[in-house]
Amino acid sequence: MDNTHYISTELLSLETLAEIVSCDKSLALSEEAKINIQKCRDYLDKKMASHSDPIYGINTGFGSLCNVKISNDNLSKLQENLVKSHSCGTGEEVPTEIVKLMLLFKIQSLSYGHSGIQLQTVERLIAFYNNDILPVIYTQGSLGASGDLAPLAHLSLPLLGEGEVYFEGKKVHSSTIMKRFDWEPIVLQSKEGLALLNGTQFMSAYGAHILLKANKFSYLADLIGAISLEGFDGRIEPFNELIHFIRPHKGQIVTASRIKGFLDGSEIIEQPKVHVQDPYSFRCMPQVHGASKDAIDYAKKVFKTEINSVTDNPNIFIESDQIISGGNFHGQPLALALDFMAIALAELGSISERRTYQLISGTRNLPAFLVDNPGLNSGLMIPQYTAASIA
């Protein structure tokens, strides 16, 4: 069975991403992607041979130096200097599972044929991915508004035989990897440094990684909430679909249905109740968990769009014979989605802590702090304090 994922113009879904990660699939370019990359590079080479006007980042300086024209003889050195000068991240190292996602997303973005990258450069990135050669990247240095310049510079530095990578569990200089695989450093051509450094793959990798976990957390929140409802001798009526169909938020309906399904056949939930209704933290699980589900769904749409996009600058459009400088590297869509997701996941923790408090409070015939001989033993008093401090 072929355990390879072929990079193509087909949308990369989060489900496919989860499969690539969990099955440790190798990457390869589809023939379509190879053609797109090569056509764009050929176009740019032809354009630069006959074009003397300044084109941002290709034959000019970068950022505030955009008005400084660079001669054609120095275009390769310009791109190499760009990668080296931007490799100035600091702080903690980015976890290797995030780095691997960054490689995947950068390869995906470059494969569409709007970036002017060399085919061999993308193939080398794929070789890094497939051989678990993971560049050492630092968490601090990205501004978001300028894309992920410093992290992506560290991602790209080993292409030049510079910087450090993790390989076979050890941190080594990338020159060691060049010798091990009998590789020559990539000689960057015009535009390539910008293609590698401009983008949102650092932000996207963190967001996608969190989303893959968020689905699991959301499911477990419902499962644990259902068990807590049983333990608290709660009522099933708040999960009746009639309530939720008259306020039909998708997440709310899904949550109520799932919790009701978990409790199907429970003798505890069906036994007669003395109390008329339950505290909010039990009764409002569909509304609270559901709102978090809807927020996670929103973030999924944003990140699915992003990981299937071209986010470098400038962008090359062969059909219309244009090279356009814009701002697709800007991280604002991701920043808002990440903030929203942080709120959503925090709320799952907050309502969970409130249920824990109810369970240890000594009501509904449960022993105080869920322990025999309270006083001599503190029981689950302090875990609830810990949960409150985290929430």
- 135: phi then psi, degrees, rounded to nearest 5: -55, 145
CATH of the domain at 271: 1.20.200.10
Please write the tens of the pLDDT for every residue from 268-279.
Answer: 999 999 999 999
Both tokens of residue 71? 């001669």
Same domain, 21 and 158: yes
Please check whether residues 170 and 228 belong to one and the same domain: no
**Structure tokens belonging to residue 47:** 């354009």
Of 199, 225, 242, the residue at which a domain comes to its end is 199
Q: What is the pLDDT of residues 292-348, one digit of tens each?
A: 999 999 999 999 999 999 999 999 999 999 999 999 999 999 999 999 999 999 999
Residue 309 within any structural domain of the chain: no
DSSP reduced 3-state for 29:
strand
pLDDT grade for 72, boundaries at 50, 70 and 90: confident
User: What's the token pair of residue 24?
Assistant: 């440790």
**125 and 178 share one domain:** yes
Higher pLDDT, 377 or 164: 164
Encode pLDDT of 139-186 as tens digits: 999 888 889 999 999 999 999 999 999 999 999 999 999 999 999 999
- Residue recorded with tokens 């875990």: 383
Helical packing angle, 285-307 and 96-110, nearest 10°: 50
Q: Do 12 and 154 fall into the same domain?
A: yes
43: pLDDT strictly greater than 90:
yes
Q: Are residues 51 and 116 in the same domain?
A: yes
Residues 195, 152: Cα–Cα separation, whole Å: 10
Torsion of CA 377, 382, 383, 389, to 10 degrees: 170
pLDDT tens-digit readout, 204-213: 999 999 999 9
Alpha-helical (H) ranges within the chain are: 14-22, 31-50, 75-86, 96-110, 119-130, 149-156, 174-181, 192-197, 201-231, 241-245, 250-262, 267-270, 280-283, 285-307, 332-360, 381-390
How many structural domains comprise the chain?
Answer: 2
| Domain range for 180 | 4-199
Q: What is the CATH number of the domain that holds 134?
A: 1.10.275.10
Average pLDDT, the chain: 95
Looking at the fold, whether 339 and 247 belong to one and the same domain comes out as yes
Q: Where are the alpha helices (DSSP H) in 182-308?
A: 192-197, 201-231, 241-245, 250-262, 267-270, 280-283, 285-307
Q: How confident is the model at residue 1 (pLDDT cuts 50, 70, 90)?
A: low
Of 171, 199, 227, which residue constitutes the final position of a domain?
Answer: 199
At CA 99, angle to CA 35 and CA 339, rounded to 5?
105
pLDDT at 93: 98
Helix axes 96-110, 14-22, angle to 10 degrees: 130
- Cα torsion angle, 71, 72, 74, 76, sign: positive
Residue 282 CB-half CA count within 13 A? 21
Among 152, 169, 199, give the residue marking a domain's end: 199
Nearest to 158 by CA among 133, 179, 182, 194: 133
Determine the pLDDT at residue 60.
Answer: 78
CA distance 264 to 269: 9
* Structure confidence by residue, pLDDT tens digits, 206-263: 999 999 999 999 999 999 999 999 999 999 999 999 999 999 999 999 999 999 999 9
| Residues designated as active site | 56
Residue 351 lies in a domain: yes
| Cβ within 8 Å of residue 47, ≥6 positions away | 323
One domain for residues 102 and 158? yes
The structure tokens listed for 88 are 């100035």
**Residues 163 and 144 placed together within one structural domain of the fold:** yes
pLDDT beyond 70 at 96: yes
